Every structure is written in structure tokens, then in C-alpha cells.
Structure 1
């Protein structure tokens, strides 16, 4: 199969800093970019070595491309993905897939009906750290899983403090930005999410947008066997001096992962059992976005699956939406 040819929908920071390089490293070609702003599109194309740009989405979809990467603002994902799928393009979409579960489900079903690949750009499930944790849990290394805890509190870079913090901006806020990433890690590890309880607040003095920038959530999971599992997440744009982490506790041991939730994750997996404490060897040398783009390319070729499929993205969205509703209502929200 010749090199996968990509069109970019959205002249975004994540495309410029992460995904274009990952597309090229995976053997793909970036043909051009669509943006609603002609100046932004032109500057982005010139700055990233793209041969073409447009302000007409239909024009981009008419290019000789195989796939699109969607990294526009969250409220635009659904419509743009549907148009791309109907144009016969494979779709890698930034999280969250959409702002409503019914929209994300429609995206998944359309891709399946058309025989196209739809994936969510959740970079963490493909991390060797999280793959090793899933392997250890699946092997019964820590016995029956009882609980998990994620610390995903970081400081939002100043250049990204725009629409993400706009009160009333569809898709803004820390829960849809970070909690859905947590869910992309927890869901394949713990089973089926059934309920979420959350609280969200605004903490940062620099947050003039008004949207919540910190949240804590408790998610209940039910696996195929065993007791219910509780997972706790702390997600924040306001914490500048903490290391992210993941803990998984079982009846026979605990797995601790340091530096677990960032884009450049060179963390460590530590296993604690009755036999003692030991580090588990994990090769973290590969870029997480390259891992994801290679998996996506393999899926298009029919030789693999994405690190986060469309259905994985749908389930992560459901958890985030439940947490968001709970934070507003003050009640536990049941999922599915």
C-alpha cells in the first residue's frame, strides 16, 4: 500500500507540535490543512511544510487524500467527521469525539457501515506503560482488582488558555479535556463504567474565562467477574509542580506508575506484592503519537487496530459527560 495521504482539519497547536511529525514518522504524507481563517491556514501551511491549504472543507475532502486528522475545537468534531466519512475518508479525531454520546455513536456506526477506520486520538492507551499495566492485571499479578487512582493534575500552558476555559463555550473545561483521557486508560483496564460522581471548581487566578479548571471524579466499574471497582481521578489545569501517576490496587498487590499521564511519558512501573517491591522493565523510548499513527495506519491497511478505536472514544466520552453532568447537578450519574 502506498503512503497514507492526510488532510488536516484544524490548524491546531497539537497538529503542529505532535501529529504532523507523527504522521511523517509513520510513513504518511501531509497534503494540506483546512482552517476557517485564510491567514491562519496560510501561516500554518508555511510553518509546517504543507503544500496546500484551504478555507473550504469540501475542497479539502476533494483532494487526493486517504485520511483526515480532525483537531478543530470540540464543538466542530461531529459535523466535520461525518462529512469526512461520507466523502470516503478514514478519520482520526481529537478527543472528545463529539459533545453528545448520540453524536459519537452516529460517527462510529457510520464508519462501520462504510468500512472506514474511525479512531480517537487518545495517546495514552498506546503507551507502553499502560500496555504493561493491562498485561500485569490480565495475568492476575495483583489478584482481583479493587480500585485505581489517577493523578492528572498539570499546569495548562499559557498558549492554550483560550477556548478551553471559556464559560459557555461548547466543549470547554477540564473534564472534557483531561477526564476523558483518564477514561481512555481506565476503561480497557477496569471493565464497564457504570456511574460517576464528580465535583469541579475554578481555581486559577489567571483563569478569566470562567470555566472550571480542576475536577475530582469517582467512577464505578463492573468487570466480567469480581466485585465493583472504584476509580478516582484528579484532573487540573492549575498544578505546576506535581508528577502524574496511576495506581491500581488488587487483593494480591499494587501497581504504581510514575509519570504516567503526560505526552512525553518516560515513567516507571513499580509492582508491590507480598514478595516485595520491584521495578518492571518498560521501554518508553517511542513517541506516543508515533505509536498511535502507526497503529492507525495498520488499521487502514487491515493489519491492526487503532490504539483507541471509535468505540473506545465513545466510551471515554460517556464517562466524561457523566462526570460533567454530576459536577453540575451534584448527583451521581449512571452511564448507559
Structure 2
């Protein structure tokens, strides 16, 4: 990969004074101890989602990074998508009126190279809920500025992976502001399309093909003036996230998604 330095032990990497920050992209059960080690070494941290296997561990990670004075960010990359940034601005502008319902469809076919621990190792935090639903909880918070306070959900295994691990989940929820929502997660529907709908008393937003890793997808606004497509300026979602973490490490505001945001989504 042309990377000038590589390490096979975490402690060796953390001992390197030239390392300023670490992206923790290991399996979920390892996040807790590795983030604590980074914080103890004074390194800024971008941690993959979900932050940890439990709320207690995630809270521990947030406290450790605060005590160490390092930036702690969560890699909820979807909030860096041009479609979601545009939708958030429209919601904040009031053009939709009072929000009534939000719907998130997230999932298709889990790629073959990812059909490993995500579907066969419960100890690593496998399953559609830990892999996908945390993204949806975060994007709901990001788009609406509201907190989910009540949830009812069902899950099932429909044939992918170990029978103890869900590959499909549906949830309905209520936010503190009274918005109702629906989340749909699935690992094994190859012709599914990611989407988000937000319906208000004065308008509706429709995003399509927006729940992946690629900078693509569309957003349409429907209101009294008809249906029109919103112009988007797509950019790599991970580049935007990393840029925000680097800026935060320089003292220039907060990362696009903080550790506290990651705790909330978990």
C-alpha cells in the first residue's frame, strides 16, 4: 500500500512520537481496550462504530479521552454525505414544517468479503443491529436534531450466517419531540435500495441510494411547489470525516461525529 511505517503491535505504534492520531477499525469487542490505550498514550482517536459492546464501555471510553485531553470521534461516515448534509439544512430551515414521520431503509446484500465475523461471531458484536442500526440511529439524530427516547423492535435470522445472529431487523421509535420513525435493516436482500424519507406538515424529502459508502445518491423535495431534485456536491464521505478529525486535533472545532454522538447511537 506504500505506507512508510507499519506495526504489528499496538504498544509499539503508540510509543512512536510521530503518531498523532489513531483510527481504531478493529472488530467491535476490541474497541474499548484499544481506545483506552490510545487515550493513555495521548493520541487522538477516530473509532469505528459501534463504539463498544456495551454502554458502560462506551461511557468509559468517552471519559478516558476527555481526561486525556484528546479528540474522540466516531466514524459515522453517513453524516458526511452530501445528501444528508443537504437534508439537514432543509430540515433546519423549516421548509418541511413540523416533522411527523421519518423512515430509514438500510441494507442490501452484505458483500462476500464481509461475510465473516459480522454474521458468525457473536462475541465480536455481529449482526445487522450492531452493524447497521447504529448508523440509522445516528443519522436520525443528525437529520432531525432530536433524541430517540422510545423503541420497539423485532429481529430474525433469515438464513445468513449463524442462527444466533440476526440478519434482519425492524424498529419503530418515538423522539423526544414526538417524531415517529421506522428503521429497516437487512443483510441479504441484493435488490434493496437504501433510502430515507422525512415527512413534515409542509413538505417531504426523499433520498435514494444514499445509505452506502460511496458518494452517490439523490435527494428530492416535494412541497406545494411540486417535486424537484436538490443539487448535491458529492465528496468521499471518509475524506470529509477524517478532515474534520484532523481539524479538531488542531483545535478547529469538533469532529463531524463526536464520541458522545457515538455513545448516543449505541
Unaligned runs of 5+ in 2: none
Residue 78 of structure 1 corresponds to which residue in structure 2? 32
Residue 267 of structure 1 corresponds to which residue in structure 2? 217
The TM-score, its normalising length taken from structure 1, stands at 0.76
Residue 54 (structure 2) pairs with residue 100 (structure 1): yes
- In 2, Cα distance between the equivalents of 1:90 and 1:117? 5
Q: How many residues align?
A: 264
1:137, CA displacement in angstroms?
Answer: 0.7
1:167, CA displacement in angstroms?
Answer: 5.2
Residue 149 of structure 2 corresponds to which residue in structure 1? 194
1:136, CA displacement in angstroms?
Answer: 0.6
Deviations along 1:276-307, one digit per CA (max 9) or x if unpaired, are 111111111x1111111111111111113211
Runs of 4 or more consecutive aligned structure 1 residues displaced over 6 Å after TM superposition? none
Residue 295 of structure 1 corresponds to which residue in structure 2? 244
Residue 316 of structure 1 corresponds to which residue in structure 2? 265
Contact 1:167 1:209 survives alignment (8 Å): no
1:169, CA displacement in angstroms?
Answer: 2.4
Q: How does 1:229-240 map to 2 (within 5 A)?
A: 229-240=179-190
Unaligned runs of 5+ in 1: 1-47, 318-336
Greater Cα shift, 68-77 or 181-190: 181-190
Contact 1:165 1:210 survives alignment (8 Å): no
Q: How does 1:1-336 map to 2 (within 5 A)?
A: 48-63=1-16, 64-166=18-120, 168-190=122-144, 191-204=146-159, 206-208=160-162, 210-223=164-177, 228-284=178-234, 286-317=235-266
- In 2, Cα distance between the equivalents of 1:168 and 1:298? 36
Deviations along 1:226-250, one digit per CA (max 9) or x if unpaired, are xx11110111111101221000011
Residue 323 of structure 1 corresponds to which residue in structure 2? none
The TM-score, its normalising length taken from structure 2, stands at 0.95
